[in-house]
Chain A
């Protein structure tokens, strides 16, 4: 049974990947393709948040700040200094993660609510710096004309189709990294800290250093998604760095499922699609999504992926085991 389900999982994964690869061949609509690319970019950002919030149980509210640092690193280097895209993207990831590491040293001294509020302050200060440092970041006018990536060997990035594959490749890479982390000893230490920091410490995990690692990985991924966003959108304004963006990424992760491997992708895809579908009711989006967030966190804190996992477990469980009662969902491992 277990083996069979693993095969099914692999098959499903292959089908999803195949569909993703074929999308540009079937979709002629540039607008739709752009929308899918945007969903991928937000999914990457949500994977970054997931490492810290979903696995390690630390709510950071500075995620949009690090996303913005990645985006503005690419934007400033390419637009103001004429740097090529690729080294700029690399620097975006490096810069976001180094800054994440340094801020993490201080941020992680705080705990629980204090950590959330500290990172909220960090996010807001990053936004203020980007908005007010006009000579460097373009201030509220923003940066215009972030270029497409230069060609890599035989591949030229001339249109959205090529950019689509680039972003898809980075998404697959991110998911691969997230999966490797989840199944490694490091990932298990993250989860141990989420379930109980005291227990994790007693089991010999260096809680401080492990959280620091999770924070750095999370900011590196945020920087990557920001860098990709810069080249995708071509224009950067400070609003994207502000705290509400963090809340939106949080929404994607929450809908998809915190602490799950498929959650960030499902959430980002679904929410972006729904947002776009109800575009003429743009103002109503958050009127509806506010209560959705509340209902999810009360009734399905593990989102759609968690719901699916529960259904699957119920189907697989034999009737006599049903009587033994359900296992604690929050203690379940990441699949």
Chain B
């Protein structure tokens, strides 16, 4: 029972990271119809920015995450302008291929600049707290609460502010939104910026538990794609629910079946779902 509860907490912490990363990916897909294969690479760069802000410049952890989010937002906007904007009318395969190019660049760039060694990110939140007889790592609690705070902030931004509503409007009907005077270009840039910032926050939160290295985004990349397909491409609640479901499935099958199975379960589930329902579980009419 104790093991079960312990793993439940681990699963929720992992799920909130997956949810954050998947949110960014699903936003970009919903607004721009781009399956951004480079999302995992943005996540990795976000972790490095936080790492160096912490270690080299001594910026406090939470502020370092904020800085990383801002830096990655700029990176995201730059990528949108330079890479995806010129391709906006190209066939969908071209978006995917361009995203692979971005992935190549970011991953090997990180390798050249920062080397391929694994780095441990120090966090001020060390130690454990005892809740109901369970020892829970403080960092995991920080992951969970920070993720929920960011998700709530994003929700309020999308629902209650004008710029947020322009994102939803473009997502629902691009032509209609343009007709009422919404600048699709600005929305595209904003969406990419938010998406990259979310990836940076997710990576920076989980990095003290895992490690920082140039290919850290690869496995996550595939997983977030599994999540947003299961949750329905472009669906925000789907990304969050999917993130938690995948994380719990992984954690429990790793604990009770085998580690290899835990790593594979997301993809097996993805393949089964797509084989039965080719447009995902909760797809809206795309």
Binding site for B on A (CB under 8 A): 53, 57-59, 106, 109-114, 116-118, 120-122, 124-125, 128, 132, 243, 247, 250-251, 254, 283-287, 289-294, 297-298, 301
Question: In which size bucket is the chain B interface?
Answer: 35 or more
A-B contact pairs, 21 of them (CB 8 A): A58-B93, A59-B97, A110-B274, A114-B279, A114-B280, A116-B93, A118-B271, A121-B225, A125-B268, A128-B267, A283-B108, A286-B104, A286-B105, A286-B108, A287-B104, A287-B108, A287-B112, A289-B101, A291-B101, A293-B98, A297-B97
Q: Is the CB of A294 within 8 A of B101?
A: yes
B63: chain A residues within 8 A (beta carbon):
none
Q: Which of A114, A128, A251 contacts B263 (CB 8 A)?
A: A128
Q: Are A59 and B96 in contact (CB under 8 A)?
A: yes
A294 CA to B233 CA in the complex, in Å?
A: 24
Whether the Cβ atoms of B108 and A284 lie closer than 8 Å is yes
Alpha-carbon distance between A117 and B97 when the two chains are bound, in angstroms: 13
Tell me if B90 is interfacial: C-beta within 8 Å of chain A. Answer: yes
- Knowing A121-B222, A128-B260, A301-B90, say if A114 contacts B102 (CB, 8 Å): no
Choose one: B102, B267, B278; the contact of A125 (CB below 8 Å): B267
B54 touches A (CB below 8 Å): no
Q: Which chain A residues lie closer than 8 Å to B93 at the CB level?
A: 53, 57-59, 116
A86 vs B134: C-alpha distance when bound (angstroms): 60
Binding site for A on B (CB under 8 A): 29, 33, 35, 82-83, 86-87, 90-94, 96-98, 100-109, 111-112, 218, 222, 225-226, 229, 233, 260, 263-264, 267-268, 270-271, 274-275, 278-280
Our pick among A57, A116, A290 for the contact of B96 (Cβ within 8 Å) is A116
**Interface pairs A-B: 7 shortest CB-CB:** A290-B105, A293-B101, A290-B104, A286-B108, A106-B275, A294-B101, A110-B278
B251 to chain A: closest CB distance in Å?
18
Q: Give bound CA distance, A71 to B268, whole Å.
A: 23
B92 to chain A, nearest CB (A): 5
Report the minimum CB–CB distance from A85 to chain B (whole Å).
31
